[in-house]
Every structure is written in structure tokens, then in C-alpha cells.
Amino acid sequence: MLAEVAQRVKLTAAIGKKGLSDQPLPGDSLHTFVTFASPPAYCYRRGSVVLNGNVVHATHGETRAEVLGAGDASQALQTFTLKQPPLTYTSAPSVTGTESSLVVRVGGVAWQEADSLAALGAGSRGFLTSQDDEGRTSVVFGDGEHGSRLPTGQENVQATYRSGIGAPGNVQPGQISLLATKPLGVKAVTNPLRASGGADRDGRDDIKRNAPLAVLALDRLVSTQDYADFARTFAGIGKASAARLTDGTRTLVHVTIAGAGDIPIDVTSDLYRNLTVALRQFGDPFLPVSVGVRELLALVVSAQVKLLSGYDWELAEPAIRARLLDAFGFGRRELGQDVLPSEVITAIQGVTGVDYVDLDVLRAIDQAAVVGALSAPASTPPAGPAPANPVPPAPGPSVARIEVLPARVVPGAVRPAQLAYLQPLIQDSLILNEVPA
């Protein structure tokens, strides 16, 4: 019905105008009137307005239902492994920022997932989950002292969960066109908006970096740095900084975030909303908190490199390029961290076989130019693995210290912190030339 109604919607005047009539006009055909709960901010041409019906909230993951096995009361810490990895976790306003999709039932009764068996009593119906390096999830039950053992039965342990997780879920508008199963009456499906906030699980370096942060605040946000540490350990967040600012009338804590691997984060996404709720829930209730997504600066580097005698440029150039992309990639740069010419020279000079470096260009282009460069069609097919996208010209000196600003107050608004790093997807953002012998 909603799809049929949406197809027959007819606006009798420009949206935003007052005095719209909801009564049929003489000689008018039967149609549905749409009345907005609050007036839109602008007036639109009727021909440009599209109303979407049958809109539902969707997240990544395919639902699975499987029998894990048979319970055996004689076994302690009985363990089962899910057959369809990886287990889907969705964003939630919790300490970790995630909510598992796993539901385990024993004899038709749901058991609850616990953080530790030590917190479970002898009769508690609880279980733990663990993951190996391949992303396989195991379900571990109690030993009778900490958590109840499974009752003996035939195929009495079942699991319902969703499989699929990570950055591949950040689909573009219109990319989804198929359903795994079609409910009665559904003819087609599409996503009118892009998805954002989906992130892969933390790598080894991320886990080592975040491990100390989780115990600093102890789920109580008191200092300004606590807000940054809490946001940094929130699932899907790769970098975070916090600053206490004032606009002349009030003092607030502004938290700047960047997604894991710099994934896109929309202000309408679950990740952004849940992080905002969690910061307010665990922070000072009388201190306003605002969250902003980082402002992107893309680095542009051009250098002349002289090699020592006997070294081949064809072998040295990829090593230099890899060193720069690592040293000035997303993982190594921080919010508000300036970029110095000496850093670039030091990184190149550290490659075996480099005699000296002549840095010709060190610049940064702002976020609007980056979006334009990434969306511009390539004039020629790329020669290497990286897609070709032209770098727009940047004014100012060719080689200078790049100032990367922290969160600050500008007239009428609070601006988030900036993040500067090399963009491998932009052609000509890293140019290396050999100085002939």
C-alpha cells in the first residue's frame, strides 16, 4: 500500500508554502495529500521533489540459522564454532560501540553472552565468544562453577546470527538491487542513500595502540582527554581528538573523529549517532558535547632523488614510494599534526641507495578539491595499480611547513580538526624523479 500511495502522491503547491488544502478540488482526481509535520527549510519545485515510500533501516549482514551441536553435561567449557564467518556486529551506544547479532538458544531457551566467565554464577545461563586470526567465532559455555554447563541433549544448541562485516558494507547510492529473499509483494529494492560507518576489525597495530586507552577512563569521562580516548576505542573510529572550546557564551567539549581507515562517516549514520549518545551518557551531563568529522587535507609531494652509483631507479623508486605512503599514510598521521619538509626528506633519505633528495613540492589541497579530484574521470588509464585522478593546482609556496589545524571556533561555527596525509588514489599527488648521473 505504501508503494502505491507514494506513486500517487501529488503536491498541490510548492512545498513550504502555507495554506495547502487537504480537501479535494472540483474536478480533481482522487489522490493523496502529504502534510509535513514541520515546514521544510526551503521551497522546492514540484518536479524536483521525490518522496520515497517503504523506506526501512538496513545494516550489513546475512541472517544465518544453524544447529551448533549437542550439549553434554559431562563436559566443562564446551565449545562450538560458527560455520559462516565473520560474525556481524552493528553499531550501538555502548562502551565498545558494538552489538553482536548472535543469539544462542539451548533447548529453545536463549542464553546471554557475558564478558567473562568470572562474572557468572554456577547456575547462570551464559556463554563467551572468541575469534581467531581467520575471523572464525567460537562459542564457549561454562564449567559448572562459572557459568552453567550445557544440558545433555540431541542437537539442542542452536544459533541465529548474521554473517558479513566491514568496509565493503559502505555501498554507494543505488548499488543494492537484489534481495536474498523477497517478501510477498516486493518487486524491487534499492538504496537511495550511501551507507557509511562500516569498518573492518582492528588490526594488530590498532589493538596494541588501543589496549591502554580502554583502561584509562574506566567508562567515566572526566577530563577532556577521556573523551578522545573513549571515542578512539569506539568501534569504527580510527582517530579521535578532543578540545575544550568556548564560543563566548558557553563552554563545550568538541570531539573530532576519523573513521577506521578513513571510512566515510555521515552525520546521519548509526556510528555517528551512537557515538554522540555514548559520549553524553558516560560523560558530564552538564557539559555540552559536539562531534565533528575530520577535515581532510591531501598532501602533494614532488621530489628529485639522486641514487648512489650502482643502484637501479626501477627498483629504488617503488621502495621510496612505499616508504612515503607508509610514513605519511592515514595510519601514521594524527589529527592536527603538522607536516614538515624535513620529515619528507628524512623518509626518502632513509631508503637504501639514496644519495640526496631535492624536495620540489610539498603542499596540501583541501577537502573540496580532494572530492573533486577523486570524482573526476581519468583522462588516461593508470599505468600502475592506483587509479588516475588529477591533482588540482595549489596556490602558495612549493615547499613550506603545512599547518594542520586542531578543532577551533570560527565566527558562527565550531570547526573540527584537520588531518593531512598522502592519498594514493589521486594521481600526481606523489611524483618522484631521478636525478641523472
For residue 190, with 0-12 CB atoms within 10 Å meaning exposed, 13-18 middle and 19 or more buried, which class applies?
Answer: exposed
CB within 8 Å of 135: residues ≥ 6 apart: 85, 86, 201
Q: Is the pLDDT of residue 104 over 50?
A: yes
Per the DSSP assignment, residues forming a β-bridge with 243 are 254
Decide: pTM greater than 0.75: yes
**pLDDT tens-place string over residues 36-82:** 777 766 677 777 877 787 888 888 888 999 999 999 999 999 999 99
Nearest in space to 167 (alpha carbons), one of 87, 84, 263: 263
- At residue 266, the pLDDT reads 93
Residues 16 and 14: their CA atoms lie apart, in Å, by 6
Could you tell me which residue, 95 or 272, shows the higher pLDDT? Answer: 272
**Could you tell me how far CA 347 lies from the centroid of its own chain?**
29
Question: If DSSP codes are grouped into helix, strand and coil, which group holds residue 41?
Answer: coil
- At residue 377, the pLDDT reads 54
Q: Look up residue 89 and give its three cell numbers.
A: 556486529
Q: Look up residue 158 and give its three cell numbers.
A: 542452536
Q: For the chain, state the CA radius of gyration.
A: 27
pLDDT band at 3 (very low <50, low <70, confident <90, very high): very low
**pLDDT tens-place string over residues 237-266:** 999 999 999 877 889 999 999 999 999 999
Residues 216 and 226: their CA atoms lie apart, in Å, by 7
Residues 208 and 4: their CA atoms lie apart, in Å, by 54
CB 292 within 8 Å of CB 255: yes
CB 334 within 8 Å of CB 416: no
Residues of the chain with CATH 3.30.300.30: 204-293
**pLDDT tens-place string over residues 136-158:** 999 999 999 999 999 999 999 99
For residue 250, with 0-12 CB atoms within 10 Å meaning exposed, 13-18 middle and 19 or more buried, which class applies?
Answer: exposed
Count of CA atoms in the C-beta half-sphere (13 A) of 2: 7
CATH topology of domain 204-293: GMP Synthetase; Chain A, domain 3 (3.30.300)
Q: Which of 57-61, 112-116, 345-349 is predicted most confidently?
A: 345-349
Nearest in space to 247 (alpha carbons), one of 284, 282, 290: 290
